[in-house]
Amino acid sequence: MLPTLWLRNTWRWVGEHPPGQLTRTGDSIIELNHNTFGRRWLYCDHSGGRAPELLFTENETNRQRVFSVANDTPYVKDAFHRYLVHGEHAAVNPQATGTKAAAYYHLRVAAGKTATLQIRFTDHQSQTPFDSKFVQLFAQRQREADEFYQALTPELNDQNVRTIQRQALAALLWTKQYEERTTGKGDHQFLKTMFQGLERNFDWWQSCEDSQRQGLYAGGFLGLDDIAVFNRNLALPTGGHLQQSDGTAWAAMFALALWWKSRWNWPARIKPTCRRPCTTWKNSLKSPRP
């Protein structure tokens, strides 16, 4: 198990320095010093009487592996994989500092059994982070979560269905983004930046997954590509190509969302650019796939 704490790398986008740093301050404590959030501590409880091994690296893309150019730092974001899977001990920072850190728990769990790890991220230093107050607080948060999901669908009695629904809703809450629009005082600069990034992403998908050169996405099922029967990077053993409606439907939804955003009444000074991808969206809307 690798409970991981990292700083989201937005500094690379604008040529700035990381806003904070993670450092080991105890045999099972990771301290965060952040320009905005101040000091925080990730306490990692012992398991089987042993403290976890704390690993550190930088949350930076391995540019050497991805783009064949030199890395700015020897410690990059795939360091934990290389350390654990390939035994590359030099991949992690021996100085125990960086913008990405993890607690490495080596567990052996028998079939049908469970294991419990206690992790606490807090803005308060503590000599006893996992005392009775921690247990009480955790139980309280569980009750609050149960009450929240119960109130959403009080008429749902099937526990299996409720469990599935709760997992789905939890995923939505995890990815949900908020945008202030009711007063017309939203962060337009952020929206402009977001739009332009999505514009490039859409264009990339279209250029990579348009085997028939129709300006239509043909990538298939996006959600489970990693467990596909065939290697999508190679020719199919029977010839032809895969074509699945759900992937095309996703691209259509993507195109419609971008088209809708491009019609917003942007202030003139931050109106987003719209060149070739806009033509692609219009063609996609006018020429649906058979």
Query: For position 290, what pLDDT does the model report?
Result: 34
Query: For position 255, what pLDDT does the model report?
Result: 79
Query: For position 229, what pLDDT does the model report?
Result: 63
Query: For position 157, what pLDDT does the model report?
Result: 86
pLDDT along the chain (290 residues), means of 10: 93 88 96 95 94 97 93 95 95 97 95 94 94 94 91 86 83 54 56 76 72 64 54 74 63 77 54 42 39
Identify whether the C-beta of residue 102 lies closer than 8 Å to the C-beta of residue 6.
Answer: no
**What pTM was estimated for this model as a whole?**
0.62
Query: For position 273, what pLDDT does the model report?
Result: 46
Give me the torsion for CA of 87, 90, 95, 96, rounded to 10°: -30
Angle between helices 188-208 and 245-262 in degrees, nearest 10? 140
Query: For position 277, what pLDDT does the model report?
Result: 41
Per-residue three-class SS string for 75-117: CCCCHHHHHHHCCCHHHCCCCCEECEEEEECCCCCCCCCCCCC
The structure tokens 């009487």 sit at 49
CA distance 232 to 240: 12
Per-residue three-class SS string for 152-205: HCCCCCCHHHHHHHHHHHHHHHHHCCCCCCCCCCCCHHHHHHHHHHHHHHHHHH
